[in-house]
Structure 1
Amino acid sequence: MTILGATCLPQVPPEQLREVARVAQDTGLAELWLWEDCFWGGGMSVASALLAWTDRLHVGVGVFPVPLRNVALAAMETAAVQRMFPGRFTVGVGHGVQDWMGQVGARAASPVTLLSEYLAALRALLRGEPVTTAGRYVTLDDVTLGLPPLAPVPVFSAAAGPRTLEVSGRHADGTILDSGTTPDRTRAALETIDRARAEAGRTGPHQIVVYLEAVTGPDAAARLAALDRGASASVAGDAHAVADAVRFWAGLGADRVILHPAPDDKDPVAFIRFTAEQVQPLLS
């Protein structure tokens, strides 16, 4: 069964997040997702707070930009959050928006190489293994987590182009496709991921996450048309229209469909209520 979630955008002020967390749990939202954009709130601190304010809500971060975070630090923080909130946290990484990475002096000449090295090291560290590696970007000398996770930690990767999709298939436990994906690109992505997994001898589950932009409320169709999204993962209309779109993307292979609001939607609490109270029951 496909899991439905909602996004809390990075632009939501931190002082509003406690209410967001409370409403997400009280309405029975399956998953609340966020991502780490420059230069808004830090993803790990926001995720930790959301988890601490709730006792059932599952929180996903999709994604952390890897050039900003040393892989050992990412492993340390992920392990700590998983131990504090077991089974309630999904972590995703990506190579980041290159212009932003340039602004902070962290732009990699080969983002795909960085992501590949990073994923391999991060997953090994989270398995509690000692890691020594000297790659182009990731260098570790006999590093082992002192407090590794007590259970396996799935690591997801954002991917769009063929080379990044291959990296995700080889190294990640799931792939995150943003709302810019189209049906044809999604089908091609699944083929690329499956081929890379087969070549790497990976046989375990591999989750597919699709971000679906949902424009709701007055003049939803006109507002979506103004955004000029084309055939990308987007929908305008009421709960029934959104539920139909969720079913469509689930039929293409999405294990999780995460709704995110339109840029002009300024009420994160109302959007979460809409997702949990109006759309989610239609998918039961």
Structure 2
Amino acid sequence: MAPRIGVAFIPTLPPEALRPLARAADEHLDDLWVWEDCFKESGIASAAVALASTERVRVGLGLMPTPLRNVALTAMEVATLQRIFPGRFVPGVGHGVQPWMAQVGGRVESPMTLLEEHLTALRRLLAGEEVTVDGRYVQLDQVKLDWPPQAGELLTAGGFGPRTIELSARLTDAVLISAGQSETELRAAVARARAAAPSGRVDVVYSLVTAAGPDAQARADADLAQWGVAPEPTRVAAGSAQDIAAAIGRAADAGATTVVVQPTADLTDVADVVELVAFVGREVRPLLV
């Protein structure tokens, strides 16, 4: 079965590039995923703009850093968007990049404890419960949303490490796995997520660095190099429509249920990213079965 196909609005693009990219995703793909990187665009603001600019595309947010956010505020913002755009907003939370968290005075001694406390409280708040908790990092006293979302809305979490993937699978509906995984690494991460999920099944959202054209492999490898990831053919999707379809197919075979095309950071003109979206929608998707 072919996976859902999305595109990432990478924060090397300016905020004003979001609406044209969102409209392109609405025309050609299933998903648009926005980020919340310090100190670029706000994830919730970006998601709201994308949702209001489109009609059908699902908008994901991966990920909101828990050290930046009071869980009650996160719940209020998520619930507002999920009620206005039912079934179209998939929020996600994670640790955040630790040096950035230190810059804003939010770095904690145990990111895993914070993520677990935040996710547990967030799920209960979004379910409409009154929550009182006195945790190591999360404290709430009889907090209850007046306008929780309707039942069935999704929540996700994710990141890099095995413990984070296991925690995310245990407490959310879907796991986000960061870009740059080899096929072998992705399979192992998916297996870990499935083993941790209470039902034995979990949706997996995987970002795949993607570049088209004759110099695509070099451009994609250069993107990975920025994060200190060594080149390996199965870590990226690069080349022709057939090459990119094959890479998406490998990710799906490894267990990804949503594959998010992540444009390379050298694409600084939104027109080039829109062109990539149209290319994936028109030429790559028909090759997937």
Q: Do they superpose with TM above 0.5? A: yes
Provide TM-score, normalisation by structure 2.
0.91
Q: 1:62 to 1:225 in 2, by over 3 A?
A: closer
1:79 CA drift (Å) = 0.5
Q: Which amino acid aligns with 2:235?
A: A
Q: Which amino acid aligns with 2:277?
A: I
Paired position in structure 1 for 2:274: 269
1:182 CA drift (Å) = 2.3
1:226 CA drift (Å) = 4.2
Tell me the distance in 2 between the aligned counterparts of 1:28 and 1:191.
Answer: 30
Match of 1:219 among 215, 218, 228: 215
Q: Which runs of 5+ in 1 are unaligned?
A: none
Q: Which amino acid aligns with 2:278?
A: R
Tell me the distance in 1 between the aligned counterparts of 2:194 and 2:208.
Answer: 22
1:185 is aligned to 2:185:
yes
Tell me the distance in 2 between the aligned counterparts of 1:226 and 1:160.
Answer: 20
Q: Which runs of 5+ in 2 are unaligned?
A: none
Paired position in structure 2 for 1:206: 202
Q: Indicate if the aligned counterparts of 2:114 and 2:138 stay in contact, CA closer than 8 A.
A: yes
1:12 is aligned to 2:13:
yes
Q: Indicate if the aligned counterparts of 1:187 and 1:252 stay in contact, CA closer than 8 A.
A: yes
Provide TM-score, normalisation by structure 1.
0.93
Paired position in structure 1 for 2:286: 281
Q: Which amino acid aligns with 1:238?
A: S
Percent identical across equivalent pairs? Answer: 46
Paired position in structure 1 for 2:76: 76
- Give aligned pairs, total: 279
Deviations 1:138-164 (A, max 9, x none): 111111111000232211111321221
Paired position in structure 2 for 1:170: 170
Q: Which amino acid aligns with 1:220?
A: A
Q: Indicate if the aligned counterparts of 1:8 and 1:34 stay in contact, CA closer than 8 A.
A: yes
Q: Which amino acid aligns with 1:210?
A: Y
Tell me the distance in 2 between the aligned counterparts of 1:87 and 1:225.
Answer: 35
Tell me the distance in 1 between the aligned counterparts of 2:49 and 2:239.
Answer: 32
Q: Indicate if the aligned counterparts of 2:173 and 2:203 stay in contact, CA closer than 8 A.
A: yes
Q: 1:187 to 1:23 in 2, by over 3 A?
A: closer
How much is the aligned-residue C-alpha RMSD, in angstroms?
1.7
Q: 1:58 to 1:40 in 2, by over 3 A?
A: same
Match of 2:248 among 246, 249, 269: 246
Tell me the distance in 1 between the aligned counterparts of 2:248 and 2:184.
Answer: 16
